[in-house]
Amino acid sequence: MPSQEGRHPHPTSPANALVTWNYLRHRMYLSHLSLNEFRNYRHLDLSLGRGLFLFHGENAQGKTNLLEAIGMLATGSSFHATSDREVVNWYAPDHIAHMKAHVKRREDDVELEMVIFDPTPPALEGADAPHSSIALPANTQRKRVKINAVPKKVIDLIGQMKVVLFAPTDLNLVDGSPEERRRFLDRALCQVQPRYCQALVQYRKIITQRSALLKRIRDNREDPRLLDYLDERLTTLANVIIFERQRMLSALNQQTTVLQETLSGGREHMQVVYRPSFKVDATWNPVETQQQYLAQLREVRKRELIQGVCLLGPHRDDLEFMVNGVNMLTYGSRGQQRTTALAAKLAELAYMRACTEDEPVLLLDDVFSELDVQRRGHLLREVMRHEQVFLTATDLSSFPEEILGQAHIYQVREGQVVVATR
């Protein structure tokens, strides 16, 4: 399939007044994607370029799978699957899914590659059923990554191609669990701050170890003094994580008010409020902060021993999305919650661009359901400003002609992607 880059509209053309492409200073876009045995894509080779790419088709045809593959190549994990093995096609003869992306960046190009093994696919009947389960050595990696054909760790993949995703499940950003809101922070920060990502990985290990130790101490099987070392490590890492989360939210709030006003037609103003489980004081220096965190851990130790869980730390933090002074978790309508989540995601993109001078790829999965006509129009005008956008929809009827005239339109059917004719 020929490259679509030549179809990009000229930014100064009168017919393209809605478009303000900023493709020089912040250039980053996916130029080619290939998938083999990924979900319902047996084989796909797709040449891409700058602009809006609109993938339409009925449900369960592969639209979300396409965005999932791009997201995995950017972040190392799926936004859609609970286990990596789920993305391997059930009928894959070698139990392997293979994804590859070529990415154009400001200073260089990069090739990203991921291979996922599923030695035990579900049992299926029929002539096309996959081969039986295969035995792999105990230490065999189920997921392998290469960057420019060189084997790397999964953590090295994160940030090579930056993405911002909005899927229907991201409504949970506003009305779901605190875990969803923490994931919102973590996904962005891991792509722009390697130091944060490393601290987060280590912190999660410490929390697992500390929770297990609390249970053993509660059962009189370990010495309580063993907690001292883990508390030191926990608070050291928490210091890094909380500091970076605060910095990100400060930057986000410079964007969210304007974006919420834009998406709501000037009717709504938004502020994101950080609620750490540790008591935090901006006047503390780093040493004082860690000492304060340690003191707070000592205060709750008896309760932690009784419950057998870690009660304080970044894994307990939360966010509040305030619109016109009202907490959207409690009082927001469905449309307001979706608009708030979209504004937060677009602010996330602006934050990542400011941190790295790279324009993240924007992935929008069926975002127009539940948005009224006015909010839909505001969103379209906003996303058309970005370097590369992948948008899925079940049909094209909700898109204005001036948008369709500028978009690269594809139809997705049963794992096949073809240029759409209108």
Task: Give me the DSSP letters along 100-155.
Answer: EEEEEESS-EEEEEEEEE-SSPPP--STTPPPPP----TT--SEEEEETTEEE-HH
Residue whose entry in the numeric block shows the structure tokens 């900023």: 22
- Quick check: 129 pLDDT over 70? no
Q: Per the domain annotation, does 87 fall within a domain?
A: yes
CATH number, domain with residue 212: 1.20.1050.90
Residues 329 and 238 both lie in one domain: yes
Residues 263 and 301 both lie in one domain: yes
What tokens does 45 get? 């080779």
Q: Per the domain annotation, does 403 fall within a domain?
A: yes
**Taken in order 42, 47, 52, 54, is the CA torsion positive or negative?**
negative
Residues 27 and 48 both lie in one domain: yes
- Quick check: 11 pLDDT over 50? no
Q: Per the domain annotation, does 38 fall within a domain?
A: yes
CATH number, domain with residue 106: 3.40.50.300
Structure confidence at residue 290 (pLDDT): 95
Residues 6 or more apart whose CB falls under 8 angstroms from that of 15 comprise: 9, 402, 405
Q: Per the domain annotation, does 202 fall within a domain?
A: yes
Domains: count for the chain: 2
Domain boundary among 300, 324, 357: 357
Determine the residue type at 403.
I
Q: Per the domain annotation, does 76 fall within a domain?
A: yes
Selection from 234, 248, 247, 343 nearest residue 278 by Cα: 234
Query: Ranked by mean pLDDT, which of 87-101, 201-215, 260-274 comes out on top?
Result: 201-215
Residues 58 and 178 both lie in one domain: no
Q: CA distances (Å), 41 to each of 72, 114, 124, 397, in order?
A: 15, 15, 18, 26
Least confident of 52-61, 125-134, 289-298, 311-320: 125-134
Residues 187 and 298 both lie in one domain: yes
Cα 322 vs. chain centroid, distance in angstroms? Answer: 22
- pLDDT, mean of residues 415-420: 92
Residue 366, Ramachandran bin (φ over 0: left; ψ between -120 and 50: alpha; else beta): left
Residues 344 and 376 both lie in one domain: no
Q: Give the pLDDT band of residue 121 (cuts 50, 70, 90).
A: low
- Quick check: 21 pLDDT over 50? no
Structure confidence at residue 349 (pLDDT): 87
Structure confidence at residue 42 (pLDDT): 96
Residues 290 and 193 both lie in one domain: yes
Q: Per the domain annotation, does 169 fall within a domain?
A: no
Residues 381 and 319 both lie in one domain: no
Residues 340 and 369 both lie in one domain: no
Residues 194 and 149 both lie in one domain: no
Range of the domain at 305: 174-357
Structure confidence at residue 331 (pLDDT): 87
**pLDDT > 70 fraction of the chain, expressed in percent and rounded:** 88
Q: Cα–Cα distance between 202 and 258 in angstroms, integer?
A: 36
Q: What is the mean pLDDT of the chain?
A: 87
Structure confidence at residue 169 (pLDDT): 78
- Quick check: 135 pLDDT over 70? no
Query: Ranked by mean pLDDT, which of 13-27, 73-87, 296-310, 379-393 comes out on top?
Result: 296-310
Domain boundary among 357, 389, 410: 357
Residues 199 and 305 both lie in one domain: yes
Q: Cα–Cα distance between 231 and 294 in angstroms, integer?
A: 7
Structure confidence at residue 252 (pLDDT): 93
Q: Give the pLDDT band of residue 13 (cuts 50, 70, 90).
A: very low
Domain boundary among 334, 357, 380: 357
Structure confidence at residue 125 (pLDDT): 55
Burial pattern 275-298, b for ≥16 Cβ within 10 A else e, equals ebbbeeeeeeeeeebbebbbebbe
Query: Ranked by mean pLDDT, which of 24-38, 166-180, 295-309 comes out on top?
Result: 295-309
Q: Per the domain annotation, does 114 fall within a domain?
A: yes
Q: 140-189: per-residue pLDDT in tens?
A: 568 999 999 999 999 999 999 999 998 877 877 998 899 999 999 999 99
Greater confidence (125 vs 98) lies with 98
- Quick check: 291 pLDDT over 90? yes
Q: 189-222: per-residue pLDDT in tens?
A: 999 999 999 999 999 999 999 999 999 999 999 9
Structure confidence at residue 374 (pLDDT): 77
* SS3 call for 272: strand
Pairing outcome for strands 408-413 and 51-56 = parallel
Residues 98 and 228 both lie in one domain: no
Q: Per the domain annotation, does 168 fall within a domain?
A: no
Q: Cα–Cα distance between 159 and 149 in angstroms, integer?
A: 17
Determine the residue type at 234.
L
Q: Cα–Cα distance between 234 and 156 in angstroms, integer?
A: 24
Selection from 68, 86, 318 nearest residue 184 by Cα: 318
- pLDDT, mean of residues 25-47: 92
What tokens does 281 get? 């004081």
